[in-house]
Amino acid sequence: MHDPGPAFRALHQRGNPFVLANAWDLGSAKVLAALGAQALATSSAAHAFTFGKPDGGVTRDQALAHAAEIVAATPLPVSGDFENGWGDDPDTCAETVRLAAEAGLAGISIEDTALPGSGAYDRDLAVERIRAAVAAARTLPRDFVLVARADGVLQGSYDLTEAIARIRAFEAAGADCVYIPAPGSFEDLETVCAAVDCPVNALATGVLASYTREDFARAGVARISLGSALARVTHRALIDTAKEILDEGTFSGLKNSVSGRVVDEMLGG
Give residue limits of the domains in the chain.
5-229
State residue 156's pLDDT score. Answer: 96
Number of Cβ within 10 Å of residue 50's Cβ equals 13
State residue 269's pLDDT score. Answer: 56
State residue 65's pLDDT score. Answer: 98
State residue 1's pLDDT score. Answer: 54
Beta bridge partners of 201: 179, 223
State residue 268's pLDDT score. Answer: 85
Model pLDDT for residues 135-150, shown as the tens digit of each residue:
999 999 999 999 999 9
Q: Residue 249: CB partners within 8 Å, gap ≥ 6?
A: none
Cα atoms in the Cβ-side hemisphere of radius 13 Å centred on 265: 5
What is the share, in percent, of the chain residues with pLDDT greater than 90?
93
Q: Are 183 and 207 in contact (CB under 8 A)?
A: no
Q: How far is CA 210 from the centre of its chain?
A: 19
The amino acid sitting at 182 is: A
Distance between CA atoms of residues 123 and 47, nearest Å: 28
- Counting as low any pLDDT under 50, the low residues of the chain are none
Q: Residue 49: CB partners within 8 Å, gap ≥ 6?
A: 24, 228, 231, 235
Model pLDDT for residues 14-73, shown as the tens digit of each residue:
999 999 999 999 999 999 999 999 999 999 999 999 999 988 889 999 999 999 999 999
CATH class of 5-229: alpha beta
Q: What is the pTM of this model?
A: 0.94
Number of residues written out for the chain: 269
